């Protein structure tokens, strides 16, 4: 198993504008990002890029189901996964967490809350960034 990079986040979402905003925001807060716009290639991207965390949508354009993807991630990798999705009903959150997600955040969301949740996940995994004590940059 390759060592996760504590500065890299894999974003899996088909919303290109959201991806762009997230890339800019995370970059201004000390993270590198890798973007995928469908569920295809998620496991390969994790193997290749060794991210510290994955932000994963539930509904993806190629018919991929984020709940199934999280199960596959859990069967092969030990990294933080946050479901970031428009499916905000309680049952969706429960299914996401029971499927293996470490956290679940419904859209629309607040960027600073997302950053705080990512940092909390990384702290719990012992992969926190040493330079995260500064105030986060806000877009």
Q: What is the DSSP string of 85-112?
A: ES--SHHHHHHHHHHT-SEEEESS--HH
Instruction: Please state the pTM of the whole predicted model.
Output: 0.85
Query: Can you read off the two tokens belonging to residue 49?
Result: 């890029």
Instruction: Compute the average pLDDT of residues 107-125.
Output: 94
Per-residue confidence at 134, pLDDT binned at 50, 70, 90? very low
pLDDT for 69 beyond 80:
yes
What angle is formed at CA 31 by the lines to CA 26 and CA 37, rounded to 5 degrees? 65
Per-residue confidence at 133, pLDDT binned at 50, 70, 90? very low
Delineate the domains of the chain, giving CATH numbers in brackets.
Answer: 8-124 (3.40.50.2300)
DSSP at 50: -
The per-residue pLDDT for range 23-65, each reduced to its tens digit, is 999 999 999 999 999 999 999 999 999 999 999 999 998 888 9
Burial class (CB in 10 A: 0-12, 13-18, 19+), 1: exposed
Q: Assess whether the previous peptide bond of 4 is cis (omega < 30° from 0).
A: no
Per-residue confidence at 131, pLDDT binned at 50, 70, 90? very low
């Amino acid at each position: 198993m390759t060592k996760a990079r504590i500065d890299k986040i894999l974003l899996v979402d088909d919303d290109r504008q959201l991806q762009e905003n997230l890339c800019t925001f995370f970059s201004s807060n000390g993270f590198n990002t890798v973007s995928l716009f469908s569920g295809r290639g998620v496991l390969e991207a994790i193997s290749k890029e060794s991210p510290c965390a994955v932000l994963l949508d539930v509904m993806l354009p190629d018919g991929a189901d984020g709940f199934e993807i999280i199960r596959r991630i859990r069967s092969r990798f030990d990294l933080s996964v946050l479901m970031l999705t428009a499916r905000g009903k309680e049952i969706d959150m429960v299914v996401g967490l029971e499927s293996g997600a470490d956290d679940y955040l419904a859209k629309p969301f607040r960027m600073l809350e997302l950053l705080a949740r990512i940092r909390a996940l990384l702290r719990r995994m012992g992969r926190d960034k040493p330079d995260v004590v500064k105030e986060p940059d806000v877009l």
